Amino acid sequence: MSPEIYHENDGNLSFLDGKLIGMIGYGNQGRSQALNMRDAGLKVIVGNRDDDYKKRAEDDEFDTYSIAETVKLADYLFLLIPDEIMKDVYKSEMLSNLKEKQAIIFASGYNIAFDLLEPPENIDVLLIAPRMIGIGVRERFLNKKGYFSFIGVHQDASGKAKEILLALAKAVGALSKAGIETSFKQEAVLDLFTEQAFGPGFGQILMNSINTLVGKGYPPEAVFVELVYSGEMSYTYEKMTEVGLINQMNYHSQTSQYGSISRAIKFRKVSKDIKELQQDVLENIESGEFAKEWEGKLSKIKFKLYKFFRTKIPFAKLENKARKNLDLPIVDLFEDIPYPKEEVIKEFEEIEKEIEDFKEFYKDF
């Protein structure tokens, strides 16, 4: 079934006349969206804890308040803080200050989709989720290139939720390419599926390709340039956006086209496995099992351990050496991650087997 798709002309800013926008959080999305809305002529204030992000908002000449004060003052509240802390901030600073007919706007469906946060029935609950990183939301607003968004209404207490949604989405720049209507659950599942079923699969193909070639004696520097650093792949992705996945093929040589189409069939076997794995991952997300796992007390320690193993693999050393020889900057974001203490691992005997599997798996990379 085709979704409703909205464009700039569908948003009417006069619905926001005299309304005050409260931006809660001034990070990646918060800053860009606040600046876009101000440029669109809206009155925006920023609610943040008293630290560097607040200072940044003040440097950008916004009036700043605490989160609780912002909830008291503003009509429409953009909740743009990390998803994993949202429900706690909502409970401690927002809930008791909410008023009838206010609206909360989320940039991710996650907390609502998996029932982690339940706003009262007398406010509007809206989704404006840019398919674009924060800096792109600002850049593409300024250079008028635009970006796609998923938008939706979860709760319509004012009776005007759709009009308010479209007006706010227009002001943020979220209708500039198109706003595609989705439920909060659809948005959240699409996002998580990309992260959990596409990302790891793509990563496996990429890392295996590099290891296969380097293992056969091809110079790592040439291999990394061929597969990643040349930018040819990201350029191909851009062309997919311009003309479509199938049609972009015409930009490649005849040899390239024949080779990749004729060899694709060899991957039939793994293709079946991939589909099955993706179904599993999708079901795990849709059922809310993933959200429950991530909420659980073991997940944060598991995350630390996974990250440790993930960042200490031989592949990381191989890549750093290649980058050094290519005069490319080496940014080790994970330099300081220490080996998890044995007593910490022991404390979590339940996941000992999982950790062993991880260690074993990453030895091959």
User: Could you tell me how many residues make up the chain?
Assistant: 365
Which residue in 35, 81, 125, 151 binds ligand NDP (CB under 6 A)? 81
The answer to the question of residue 112 lying near ligand NDP (CB under 6 A) is: no
* Residue of minimal Cβ distance to ligand NDP: 27
* Dihedral class, residue 115 (left if φ above 0, else alpha if ψ from -120 to 50, else beta): left
Q: Is residue 184 near ligand NDP by the rule CB under 6 A?
A: no
Determine if 27 is a binding residue for ligand NDP (CB under 6 A). Answer: yes
> Per-residue x/- marks for ligand NDP, 124-153, CB under 6 A?
-----xx--xx-------------------
3-state secondary structure of 160: coil
Main-chain dihedrals φ then ψ at residue 322, nearest 5 degrees: -60, -40
The DSSP call for residue 115 is: T
Q: Please report whether residue 109 would count as binding ligand NDP according to CB under 6 A.
A: no
CB 101 within 8 A of CB 123: yes
Least distance to ligand NDP, CB of residue 33, Å: 9
Q: Which is nearer to ligand NDP, 117 or 153 (CB)?
A: 117
Decide if residue 85 touches ligand NDP (CB under 6 A). Answer: yes
- Select from 83-91, 174-182, 235-243, 284-292 the region that touches ligand NDP (CB under 6 A): 83-91
Number of residues counted as binding ligand NDP (CB under 6 A): 22
Q: Is 95 in the site for ligand NDP (CB under 6 A)?
A: no
Options 49-57, 178-186, 220-228, 264-272: segment touching ligand NDP (CB under 6 A): 49-57
8 Å CB contact between 104 and 1 = no
Contact status, residue 170 vs residue 139, Cβ threshold 8 Å: no
Q: Which of 21, 45, 53, 127 binds ligand NDP (CB under 6 A)?
A: 53
166 vs 192, which CB is nearer to ligand NDP?
A: 192
Which position among 41, 82, 199, 314 is part of the footprint of ligand NDP (CB under 6 A)?
82
Minimum CB distance to ligand NDP, residue 44 (Å): 14
Which is nearer to ligand NDP, 102 or 108 (by Cβ)?
A: 108
Interface with ligand NDP, residue 66, by CB under 6 A: no
Helices (H), the chain: 28-39, 52-59, 67-73, 83-89, 110-113, 134-142, 161-172, 184-193, 199-215, 220-224, 232-243, 254-264, 268-286, 289-295, 297-311, 314-325, 342-347, 352-363
Q: Which stretch binds ligand NDP (CB under 6 A): 27-35, 162-170, 282-290, 326-334?
A: 27-35
Which residues are bridge partners to 124 per DSSP?
103
Q: Nearest approach, Cβ of 154 to ligand NDP (angstroms)? A: 14
Question: Is 277 within 8 Å of 197 (Cβ atoms)?
Answer: yes
Amino acid letter at 262?
A: S
Sheet holding 43-47, edge to edge: 5-6, 178-181, 148-155, 124-130, 103-106, 76-79, 20-24, 43-47, 63-65
Indicate the residue among 83 and 319 with the shorter CB distance to ligand NDP. Answer: 83
Per-residue b/e over 319-349, b at no fewer than 16 CB within 10 Å? beebbeeeeeeeeeeeeebeebeeeebeebe
Select 129 or 168, whichever has its Cβ closest to ligand NDP.
129
Q: Radius of gyration (Cα) for the chain, nearest Å?
A: 23
| Cα–Cα distance for residue pair 23/48, rounded to 1 Å | 8
Is residue 26 involved in binding ligand NDP (CB under 6 A)?
A: yes
- For the bound state, the minimum distance from the C-beta of residue 243 to ligand NDP, rounded and expressed in Å, comes to 26
Paired strand residues for 90: none
Taking the complex as a whole, the smallest distance from the CB of residue 145 to ligand NDP amounts, in Å, to 16
Q: Which parts of this chain interact with ligand NDP (CB under 6 A)?
A: 25-30, 48-49, 51, 53, 80-83, 85, 89, 107-108, 129-130, 133-134
